[in-house]
């Protein structure tokens, strides 16, 4: 005798995808294995979990973005973050010189370097 078939509610599945739930979380919600969830996706949508999730998680991402934009009206940090993400804005925290002078660093090795002691190696009085 076969096991009873696990229920798979398409509307609930799509809502869980829009909430950005993981495959493991969705499988647990329906009390089924990840493999069974993937099988139900193939039976219901004609494609596996990954492809189905991509299509149905978009609503949740749009909702997050909508809330971020709304929040940016009152939260300066969010407005700055959105500007960096979507408008290519950035913080310039360095100074540039119009005509920089060339810089040359010359390193010479001291021949009696092995005889020299580091100040921390000498005994304190």
- Percent share of the chain, pLDDT over 70: 83
By residue count, the chain amounts to: 125
Is pLDDT larger for residue 118 or for residue 85? 85
The answer to whether residues 37 and 25 touch, using CB atoms and an 8 Å cutoff, is no
Asked if residue 123 has pLDDT above 70, the reply is no
Is the pLDDT at 121 greater than 80, yes or no? no
Give the whole-angstrom CA distance, residue 25 versus residue 121.
60
Q: Is the pLDDT of residue 38 over 60?
A: yes
Convert 1-20 to b/e letters by CB count within 10 Å (16 or more is b): eeeeeeebeeeebbebbbee
In the predicted model, what is the mean pLDDT of the chain?
84
Distances (CA, A) of 1 to 4, 5: 9, 12
The tokens for 65 are 């973005």
pLDDT over threshold 90, residue 55: yes
**How far is 7 from 17, CA to CA, in rounded Å?**
17
């Amino acid at each position: 005798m076969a096991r009873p078939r696990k229920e798979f509610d398409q509307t609930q599945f799509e809502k869980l995808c829009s909430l950005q739930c993981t495959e493991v979380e969705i499988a647990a919600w329906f009390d089924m294995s990840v493999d069974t969830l993937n099988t139900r996706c193939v039976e219901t949508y004609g494609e596996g979990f990954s492809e189905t999730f991509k299509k149905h998680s978009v609503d949740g991402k749009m909702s997050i973005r909508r809330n971020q934009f709304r929040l940016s009206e009152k939260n300066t940090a969010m407005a700055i973050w959105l500007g960096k993400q979507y408008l290519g804005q950035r913080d310039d925290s360095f100074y540039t010189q119009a005509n920089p002078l060339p810089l040359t660093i010359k390193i010479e090795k001291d021949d009696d370097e092995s005889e020299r002691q580091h100040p921390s190696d000498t005994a304190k009085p």
